[in-house]
A and B are shown apart, each in its own frame.
Chain A
Amino acid sequence: DAKTTQPTSMDCAEGRAANLPCNHSTISGNEYVYWYRQIHSQGPQYIIHGLKNNETNEMASLIITEDRKSSTLILPHATLRDTAVYYCIVRVAGGSGGGADGLTFGKGTHLIIQP
């Protein structure tokens, strides 16, 4: 799986959009970008994933650059409960073609939402 680089920590004001960057310059054509987060002491939580098109769900939006070398996770209206460590992970998709292997978690970005 390709390596990812994320800032160690970020602050964001409550109610504002939180934009979390991730660099993955060695990403391969068949690798997806996944985002998970871990709120203190809890199990990691899946947020969103994408291949090359921008994606949006009820939790967040994922913007992937055209060259796919970087991406940004956007939490549109951050709340105090969004304080967590956010992990950007690049991996081949699962399914019968393989890629259903374990996730490789880096150090992630510690996002702190300020009241």
Chain B
Amino acid sequence: NAGVMQNPRHLVRRRGQEARLRCSPMKGHSHVYWYRQLPEEGLKFMVYLQKENIIDESGMPKERFSAEFPKEGPSILRIQQVVRGDSAAYFCASATGSYEQYFGPGTRLTVT
């Protein structure tokens, strides 16, 4: 059973460009979570999605950030018009909805 997959693993964007981060949950998992880890800081919850629904986006910045988890395909975290402060590691986790979350390897976003 493959684990949570994220791609790309590393992404470099210039200021003002768009960043798209993809997350494929573990087989059978219908719950997806996105977290952000800024340099030298802890992990912060961003958004929680189930198939085609955003359940909790209380940790998402109000502007430029969006997330989706379509019926088919991976979950996407989209950052429009990136700024240097968006440089961070973005982790996705999946779960069956009970108990433990399983994390992917992360996407390292660098904004130049």
Contacts and interface: CB of A to CB of B under 8 A. Distances in A.
Interface in B76-93: 89, 91, 93
Contact of A43 (B46, B58, B91, B95): B91
B59 interface: yes
Contacts of B105: 42-43
Contact of B42 (A41, A45, A95, A106): A106
Interface residues of A, number: 23
B48 A102 contact: yes
Nearest to B99: A94
Interface in A12-40: 32, 34, 38
B interface, size bucket: 20 to 34
Nearest to A94: B98
Interface core residue of A41, A96, A103 (most chain B CB under 10 Å): A103
Interface string B12-39: 0000000000000000000101010000
Given A95-B98, A101-B48, A104-B45, A44 B103 contact: yes
B91 A94 contact: no
A68 to B, nearest CB: 18
A87 to B, nearest CB: 8
A30 to B, nearest CB: 13
Contacts of A102: 33, 35, 45-48, 56, 58-59
Nearest to B104: A43
A95 B97 contact: yes
Interface of B: 4, 31, 33, 35, 42-48, 55-56, 58-59, 89, 91, 93, 95-106
Interface of A: 32, 34, 38, 41-46, 49, 93-96, 100-108
